[in-house]
Structure 1
Amino acid sequence: MLRELILGMLGGTLTGLTPSLHVNTLASIVNNIELPISDFSFVLLVYVMGLTHTFLDAFPSTFFGVPDESVALSALPAHRLALQGKGLEVINLSLKASLLAAIFSIALIPLYLIIAPHYTPQIGRAIVFLLAFLIIVTEKGIKKLYALFVFLMAGILGIVSDQFPLNEPFYHLFVGLFGVPAILLSLDNNNKISGGDGKIEMSQSQLIAFSFLGTIFGMMASLLPTFTSSQAALIGSFIT
């Protein structure tokens, strides 16, 4: 078990600090290597990798692929703060929120164990379609059609990719969709980013409240198919 813990932390550190390298990618590679470990050990390895990754992935996601200042309004929140010279504040927020989320997750395990058995695939599909509907209708004007078009094209792309005779068809799909664009966009990026002093401009009560809300949405993401942490954050932004 100690071996899996150490390897998981090393793997999570690698994926967390490497831009566009996801835990699932490394887990897929490890699975294909067919290491002589039990199923439980593999699950433990992936879990530790994911937990470690959560604490460290804020570094590349904040400072890697930051756009030009001219498009700051359309940039991700972390990138907008980085352009304002508050990159270290983002890192500090992420680390503290991740720690609080881990603590809240442990405290909410009994509640999760009560809710999880009542979950069915039918409920999951219904909620996913509801979330997709909310994401589309919250766009303004003609952007609703754009959002619907992207949603449908993404679904078709997933269906087509699943038809290819590959061991991990979605592995190649995700690398192409998320890894390659981030690298290409950063090639011509000469921005000089100031990290700032790292001071968090948020009260402790707000930090705790938002961390708890993030934990709740994270629990939802673990139950619902195709519902990721990014989508959970988007839905959470509607509430806040």
Structure 2
Amino acid sequence: MILEIGIAIIIGIILGTITGLTPGIHINLIAAIVMAGSSRLLEYFPALYIGTTLISMAVTHTFLDIIPTTFLGAADSDNALTLLPSHRLLMEGRGLESIKLAIFGSFFGLVAIIILTPVIIGHITAAYEIIKDYIQYILIGISIIIIKKSKEPKIAILVFILSGVLGVVVFSLKTLEQPLFPLLSGLFGISALILGIKNKINIPEQIKDLKLNIDNLKIFTNIIVSCIASLFTSFLPGLTSSHTTAVASAINEIKDENDYIIVNSAINTISMFLSLIALYSIDKARSGVIVTLSNIMSVGKLQILYFTAVCLITAFIAIFLTLKLERIFSKFMPRLNYKRLCSCIIGFLLILTILISGGIGIIVLVISTCVGIFCLLTNIERIHLMGTLILPVILYFSL
């Protein structure tokens, strides 16, 4: 059994590496494929092993997705706020610093939330019962706060509404398969890659032996704030890690770009773990991976303990894997033709969109890319593009 579990973890790490390094390929897409073929998979593999692979994949993804965010300037919905700080460090030759900061945040965030889990489980059910009838108002409140903090609130509102209306329309298309894939690939992936080609970015040589000067007290504070903010938002639908980072900034103002990377990475991993806790404590699946997990097996106390161990084992492996891959990227990226690389990734995403979502998916991809480019050209924080998820959720709970 130990051998089989080890193999399941390794498969999850491989899948998480693919999703983490490839812009547009999200763990939720893999989870959807697994769910579609779950009846056949369960004929050959126990549900526990499939669940192990899913959780291992999710953890690995949260460690590795900082690499394309840093080197390609292509973020997903969870790292929208980390994009500028990490890409800026890359252009200063300090890409390794960005990766190490993210690893710090992800690992210590995971450890902290695991320590707090008994307390969370003991109180979260009662807390959720209090807020569940006010979810739409909480989402509206968080959106207003984030828009007011924007450099250009009027343009931020426009971006939020544009992406929100797009989300409402896309999710109403019954014939569209995997609507999130073309929608988020356009908003966060292809839009950034197109501007990367236009701006003719040349990645400088990266500093190899870079030492981090990190204040231990500051890390502790950032991790605690990340846990508090994640508890506030992880049990609400429609919110991403970027929204949680914005809430964390409201709790304890974050000005330093290094702190942003640590906090966002911590929240990314914490939110993944809390989605597992949400399934156990309030029977709500807040991510595609957990939706698939809930469809193939039940999760009780023993399963929570088991998956916690899987998370920790995967995290240790992911640390070394991320550092190794970062060194490979930092060595070869300055030598690669950035324009050609971005063009290849765009072509790859176009092909995947056709295969997964068909002709309608291409239309969605083009429109969402235009909205994403508009957001980037107006220098508005990309978190406002998440109106594409929040507005449909607000309408769902309001109507």
Match of 2:26 in 1: 22
> Which moves more between the two structures, 212-221 or 102-111?
212-221
2:66 is aligned with 1:54? no
Match 1:214 to one of 226, 231, 234 = 226
The aligned length equals: 230
Question: 1:1-240 residue pairs with structure 2 within 5 A?
Answer: 2=5, 3-34=7-38, 35-37=40-42, 41-65=49-73, 76-117=84-125, 118-119=127-128, 120-140=131-151, 143-165=152-174, 166-188=176-198, 189-196=200-207, 197-238=209-250, 239-240=252-253
In the alignment, the residues of structure 2 paired with residue 227 and residue 9 of structure 1 have an alpha-carbon distance, to the nearest angstrom, of: 25
What is the deviation of 1:104?
0.4
What is the deviation of 1:229?
0.5
What is the deviation of 1:41?
4.8
Distance 1:171 1:121, change over 3 A: farther
What is the deviation of 1:99?
0.9
Structure 2's unaligned 5+ residue stretches are: 75-82, 254-399
- 1:184-218 CA-partner distances (Å, limit 9, x unpaired): 23334331233323322321221222122223323
Q: Is the 8 A contact 2:90 2:203 kept in 1?
A: no
- 1:83-115 CA-partner distances (Å, limit 9, x unpaired): 222211111111122110110011111222133
Structure scoring higher RCO (CA < 8 A, sep ≥ 6) equals 2
Q: Is the 8 A contact 1:213 1:236 kept in 2?
A: yes
Query: Aligned to 1:223, what secondary structure does the other structure show?
Result: coil
Q: Is the 8 A contact 1:82 1:194 kept in 2?
A: no
Distance 1:121 1:43, change over 3 A: farther
**Counterpart of 2:241 in structure 1: which amino acid?**
S
After TM superposition, the score normalised by the length of structure 2 is 0.53
Query: Aligned to 2:234, what secondary structure does the other structure show?
Result: helix
Q: Is the 8 A contact 1:15 1:22 kept in 2?
A: yes
Match of 1:71 in 2: none
In the alignment, the residues of structure 2 paired with residue 103 and residue 16 of structure 1 have an alpha-carbon distance, to the nearest angstrom, of: 21
**Counterpart of 1:233 in structure 2: which amino acid?**
T
Distance 1:127 1:195, change over 3 A: farther
> Which moves more between the two structures, 35-44 or 152-161?
35-44
Please, what is the CA RMSD of the aligned residues? 2.3
Q: Is the 8 A contact 1:5 1:48 kept in 2?
A: yes
Q: Is the 8 A contact 1:87 1:198 kept in 2?
A: no
In the alignment, the residues of structure 2 paired with residue 115 and residue 156 of structure 1 have an alpha-carbon distance, to the nearest angstrom, of: 36
> Which moves more between the two structures, 42-51 or 131-140?
42-51
After TM superposition, the score normalised by the length of structure 1 is 0.84
Q: Is the 8 A contact 2:23 2:185 kept in 1?
A: no
In the alignment, the residues of structure 2 paired with residue 52 and residue 94 of structure 1 have an alpha-carbon distance, to the nearest angstrom, of: 13
Structure 1's unaligned 5+ residue stretches are: 67-74
Query: Aligned to 1:153, what secondary structure does the other structure show?
Result: helix
In the alignment, the residues of structure 1 paired with residue 51 and residue 136 of structure 2 have an alpha-carbon distance, to the nearest angstrom, of: 26
What is the deviation of 1:135?
0.8
In the alignment, the residues of structure 1 paired with residue 86 and residue 217 of structure 2 have an alpha-carbon distance, to the nearest angstrom, of: 21
